[in-house]
């Protein structure tokens, strides 16, 4: 007869030894396996998406080898191509890093697109109507206003969550439409450029508000450096500060966090403010660094693509730098593939969509599963 008290005091290792058929793996393997999966799954997602895209290209009568070769050359063929990749990666790095903060808090912020538009509107208003400041004051003011408007737009959804328990997925999507439609109203009404005919756009911002470029003759501007700095700051915030620890604790279990004395509602609002502020900064940089004016469709979907960027990097801001550059390369290379390889725009959008779909699917699986050894069936 077994002693019941002995059974209750057995360690986990003793139980695994005592039970035949239990899967035993070295502790080093158990520590390394999750990291290996985190590294392999994004690569597997991209390979799967490109394989499916290859089958679609073959079925449509196109040479996938030529298409992918042109895509690679369009992304990394020369200095200009690389600079365009970094330009497209800049908003993705900012948005993805901000979304990582919200996702770590278990807040599904789907509203980065609207927060991007809010930041772009704020930057444009400052850049048009304030004309007397020098560039060393004007540029920080433009970026600061864009960041604040994006943060307020994000906090609005956070407030609805903590005050009325409104689902943030629904509210952020609704706020996206409000921001996009509101931008359309502004560029066709109060802020419409009187010298631009009937085009839905504003006047150009003043030259003092434009971000300087540092790799002539390319269009690469200091916004890319700002994006790298923000990603590093958010990494330190999430993993090296008490605020980041509280945000992650709320994301893991808000009940336990509240029991431990953490103000859950306050940190939800803070996470949404940081997330929205990063997206608003991306919108401000897009205006001050690339477009120099506000358009009705100033974003080609950066806010939604940033979700895939964050998930691909497992919500790690430093990893988001790499995933943002990857998605910038895919976007830039796909545009060249459409022009040079004569691949229809529909197929280009399908390829981009497949990459995002596979990345999101693998990312969600990784977030909602845990790798651990399981007992064998007896």
pTM: 0.86
Q: How far apart are CA 297 and CA 278, in angstroms?
A: 19
DSSP 314: T
pLDDT (tens, 9 = 90+) of the chain, 378 residues, equals: 445 444 444 444 444 444 444 455 566 555 665 666 666 777 788 888 889 989 998 998 888 999 889 989 989 989 999 999 999 999 999 999 999 999 999 999 999 999 999 999 999 999 999 999 999 999 999 999 999 999 999 999 999 999 999 999 999 999 999 999 999 999 999 999 988 778 899 999 999 999 999 988 999 999 999 999 999 999 999 999 999 999 999 999 999 999 999 999 999 999 999 999 999 999 999 999 999 999 999 999 999 999 989 988 889 999 999 999 999 998 888 888 888 888 887 787 787 788 778 877 776 666 565 444 443 443
Q: How far apart are CA 171 and CA 182, in angstroms?
A: 16
Q: How far apart are CA 234 and CA 327, in angstroms?
A: 20
- Structural domains of the chain in order of their starting residue, each with its CATH number: 83-367 (1.10.3470)
Other C-beta atoms lying within 10 Å of the C-beta of residue 171? 20
Q: Whats the size of the chain, residue-wise? A: 378
Q: Is omega for the bond preceding 217 within 30 degrees of 0, making it cis?
A: yes
Q: How far apart are CA 251 and CA 275, in angstroms?
A: 14
Place of tokens 């298409």: 67
Are 351 and 334 in contact by the 8 Å Cβ rule? The answer is yes
């Amino acid at each position: 007869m077994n002693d019941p008290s002995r059974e209750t005091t057995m360690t986990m290792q003793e139980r695994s030894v005592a039970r035949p058929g239990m899967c035993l793996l070295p502790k080093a393997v158990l520590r390394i396996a999750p990291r290996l999966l985190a590294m392999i799954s994004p690569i597997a997602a991209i390979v799967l998406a490109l394989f499916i895209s290859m089958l679609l290209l073959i079925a449509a009568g196109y040479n996938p080898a030529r298409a992918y070769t042109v895509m690679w050359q369009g992304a990394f063929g020369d200095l200009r191509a690389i600079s365009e990749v970094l330009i497209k990666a800049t908003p993705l790095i900012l948005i993805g890093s901000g979304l990582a903060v919200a996702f770590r808090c278990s807040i599904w912020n789907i509203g980065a697109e609207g927060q991007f538009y809010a930041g772009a509107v704020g930057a444009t208003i400052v850049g048009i109507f304030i004309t007397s400041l020098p560039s060393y004051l004007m540029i920080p003011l433009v970026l600061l206003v864009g960041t604040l408007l994006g943060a307020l737009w994000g906090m609005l959804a956070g407030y609805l969550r903590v005050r009325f328990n409104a689902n943030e997925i629904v509210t952020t999507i609704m706020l996206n439409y409000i921001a996009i439609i509101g931008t359309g109203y502004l560029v066709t009404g109060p802020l419409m450029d009187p010298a631009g005919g009937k085009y839905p756009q504003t006047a150009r911002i003043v030259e003092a508000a434009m971000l300087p470029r540092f790799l002539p003759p390319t269009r690469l501007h200091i916004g890319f450096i700002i994006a790298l700095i923000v990603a590093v700051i958010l990494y330190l915030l999430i993993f090296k500060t008490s605020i980041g620890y509280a945000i992650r604790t709320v994301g893991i279990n808000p009940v336990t966090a509240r029991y431990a004395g953490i103000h859950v509602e306050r940190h939800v609002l803070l996470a949404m403010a940081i997330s929205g502020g990063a997206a608003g900064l991306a919108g401000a940089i897009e205006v001050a660094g690339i477009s120099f004016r506000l358009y009705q469709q100033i974003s080609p979907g950066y806010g939604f693509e940033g979700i895939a960027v964050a998930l691909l990097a497992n919500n790690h801001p430093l990893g988001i730098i790499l995933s943002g550059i990857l998605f910038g390369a895919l976007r830039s290379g796909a545009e060249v593939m459409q022009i040079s390889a004569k691949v229809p725009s529909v197929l280009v959008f399908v390829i981009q969509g497949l990459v995002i779909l596979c990345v999101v699917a693998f990312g969600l699986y990784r977030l909602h599963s845990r790798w651990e050894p399981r007992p064998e069936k007896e």
